[in-house]
Structure 1
Amino acid sequence: MTDQPAITVDGHAIPLLGFGTWMLEPDDARRMVAEALRIGYRHIDTAWIYRNEAAVGDGVRDAIEAGHVAREDIWLTTKIWVEHFDRDGLLRQAAESRASLGFTPDLLLLHWPRKEPAFAETIGALNEAKDQGLTGAIGLSNFPSAEFREAQALSKAKLVTNQVEYHPYLKLSKLTAAAKELGSSITAWSPLAQGKIADDPTLIGIGEAHGKSAGQVTLRWLIQQNVIAIPRTTKVSRAEESFDIFDFQLSPEEMDRIHALARPDGRMGDWLDKSFRWDEEWA
């Protein structure tokens, strides 16, 4: 798919650096997706609930028509919203998302775990969507490790990633271990901690040693763990900066210093249903 660093899961090569579109208004989503693909990104992430799938598809089409990229070189992800987790609702939304994008997504995720309907129905429907050609691969988003394992046990197809919040202020060792055990991967949303990493003295210091910004150091730290990162921005200059991370390497000592920034209150986007609990990392 691309000569950029990728993680191969179940035969799918997923670029480790992608471009996210959460909270991007349609005009910005179209513009920035096209710009991201021009810059060199080959992985685009959206979701039904973002209300910008059609604009994301337009941006992909703009980049293709401009000659910046071919469709087969793009990894395109979208997500099923929790209100559509019943079988019929999931298949309807999968078809709607494909129509809105104007392309068959390469990956379809369940956006958050939900108690009802039962996992068996939802995972079964997700597999049906794959079998019907509504997506190339399937996966999860925001599933703690116990639910991650349960979902994979119920799934005929490999769940190729679990997209969750991950950045230097959040410890994720149990979930990354579960992904490795299951032959899956982790995708990091809010990889730059909603901009909070920009003023971090540790990250700034490491960046100075490499001639890089704190954000570039953070993204490099993620992809060196084989974690997929999907930063998002409305600024072309920031997207260019985030893409410029393939010409340096963090040392093991630098990686450890960044891991040491994690703290118990590091989570920033906790919308998990109260029926579930995040992995306890600080016991």
Structure 2
Amino acid sequence: MKLTPATTKTLKNGVKIPILGLGVYKAPKEETESIVYTALKQGYRHIDSAQFYGNEREVGLAIAKYLKDEPGSSRNDVFYTTKLAPTNATYEQAKSAILESLEKVKEIGYIDLCLIHSPALEKTQRLDMWKALQEFYEEGRIKAIGVSNYSVLLLKELLGWEGLKVEPSVNQFELNPWLLRLDLCEFCNEKGIVIEAFSPLTRGKRLDDPELLRLIEKSYPGKTTAQILIRWSLQMGFIPLPKSSNEQRLLANLQSLDFEISDEDMKQLTHENDYYVSNPAFDPIKKYFDKW
């Protein structure tokens, strides 16, 4: 099947999510609206923000502007994700924070997907945050809910909670050819939890990797290492969320949909025994593995 920016996966509740997203972490606040608007004009249909990023308002304005300017477009054409900051760790704090996020994007009416950005330290906090998300989901103001940086143990905790009414649809965590997290991916697939890959470009740290460069020279002339990494994620069944503020690179990243990596090359690219985290200081899954 030919892939396009509008190609979707179906979440367990029936919501359609585009297979490639644009991450806006560290996008300058004063430039975010322009970056997102440009990306939407290029064909992106999935934007990934967060309370922690401080640019939800700008993303919402860009989506609203695009929908107004683009003939024949509707709200269903753009998928918007935000994330609940783990500092909002009580039920009331979480409810208040979600209301603020909804207010910041009031021009687009609702949030397609809201994730817990990173697990709070205490079980009661994690479950209180989920309780709040469930309520907004049941009201229809959020169309799907999920988690980010959750380990297998934390997913089991949530799925086994007696107060669970809505199962998580998504788990977002860092993945790349040198960071596979096989057990976590296998568990998510078994439970029907769609996997999103943040930092699929290794924060740029391995874009000059000699193996990638040799592979391009041998089999994919004209492609970039970023396109190879994004395509790898897509063929692994993940939803990659590359980020860029450069118009040319935004378009180039979309072109990862235009080719396929052979089975042989996928095998060569996939390093099951490595554990390469692009920012070791931020790896909640490993940091709290023994505790959780």
TM score, norm. by length of structure 2? 0.88
Report the counterpart of residue 170 of structure 1 in structure 2.
Answer: 179
- CA distance in 1 between counterparts of 2:178 and 2:35 reads 27
CA distance in 2, matches of 1:24, 1:14: 22
> Which residue of the partner structure matches residue 139 of structure 1?
146
Change (3 A) 1:83 1:273: farther
Return the letter of the residue paired with 2:267: D
What is the distance in 1 between the residues matched to 2:271 and 2:232?
Answer: 12
Identity of aligned residues (%): 29
Query: Are the equivalent residues in 2 in contact too, given 1:26–1:56 (CA < 8 A)?
Result: no
Q: Does 1:153 align with 2:160?
A: yes
Q: Distance in 1 between matches of 2:21 and 2:56?
A: 16
- How far apart, in 2, do the equivalents of 1:207 and 1:126 lie? 44
Aligned to 2:7: 5
Residue in 1 that maps onto 2:117: 111
Distance apart, 1:171 and its partner CA: 2.3
User: Partner of 1:136: helix, strand, or coil?
Assistant: strand
Q: Could you tell me which runs of 5 or more consecutive residues in structure 2 were left unpaired when the two chains were aligned.
A: none
Seen in structure 2, the aligned counterparts of structure 1 residues 254 and 3 have a Cα distance that, compared at 3 Å, is same
Give the whole-Å Cα distance in 1 for the aligned partners of 2:284 and 2:272.
23
8 Å CA contact 1:31, 1:59 repeated in 2: yes
Aligned length: 278
1:41 aligns with 2:44: yes
Q: Secondary structure at 2:200's aligned position in 1?
A: coil
Give the Cα–Cα distance (whole angstroms) in 2 for the partners of residues 205 and 169 of structure 1.
Answer: 17
CA distance in 1, matches of 2:38, 2:160: 39
Alignment correspondent of 2:235: 224
The match for 2:103 among 68, 93, 99 is 99
Q: Deviations over 1:103-149 (max 9, x none)?
A: 31100100111123613322222211211233111000111111122
Paired position in structure 1 for 2:202: 193
User: How far is 1:271 from its partner?
Assistant: 4.7
Report the residue type matching 1:78 in the other structure: T
Q: Give, as a single letter, the amino acid of the residue that structure 1 aligns with 2:289.
A: R
Give 2:64's aligned residue: 61
The alignment status of 1:81 with 2:85, answered yes or no, reads yes
> 1:159-209 CA deviation, whole Å, 9 max, x = no partner?
111111111221221111011111111111111001123201222233332
Tell me how far 1:70 sits from its aligned partner.
2.7
Q: Closer, same or farther in 2 for the Cα pair 1:250/1:23, shift >3 Å?
A: same
For 2:93 and 2:285, locate their aligned partners in 1 and report how far apart those are by CA, in whole Å.
20
- State the 1:265 CA deviation: 4.4
Residue 82 of structure 1 aligns with an amino acid whose one-letter code is P
Could you tell me how far apart the structure 2 residues matched to 1:249 and 1:97 are? 38
Distance 1:17 1:8 in 2: 13
Q: Which of 203, 210, 216 lines up with 2:220 in the alignment?
A: 210
Is the alpha carbon distance of 1:278 and 1:40 closer, same or farther for their aligned partners in structure 2, counting shifts above 3 Å?
Answer: farther
How far 1:267 moved relative to its partner? 4.6
Is the 2:149–2:285 contact (alpha carbons within 8 Å) kept by the matching residues of 1?
no
> Aligned partner of 2:288: which letter?
F
Do the aligned partners of residues 226 and 271 (structure 1) sit closer, same or farther apart at CA in structure 2, a change above 3 Å counting?
closer
List per-residue Cα deviations over 1:212-236 (Å, max 9, x = no partner).
Answer: 1111011011011110011111101
Partner of 1:180: 189
> CA offset at residue 13 of structure 1?
1.6
Gaps of 5+ in 1: none
TM-align CA RMSD: 2.2
Equivalent AA in structure 1 for residue 198 of structure 2 = W
DSSP 3-state at the match of 1:232: coil
Q: Which moved more, 1:260-269 or 1:45-54?
A: 260-269
- Give the counterpart of 1:50 among 44, 49, 53: 53
Q: Distance in 1 between matches of 2:18 and 2:240?
A: 9
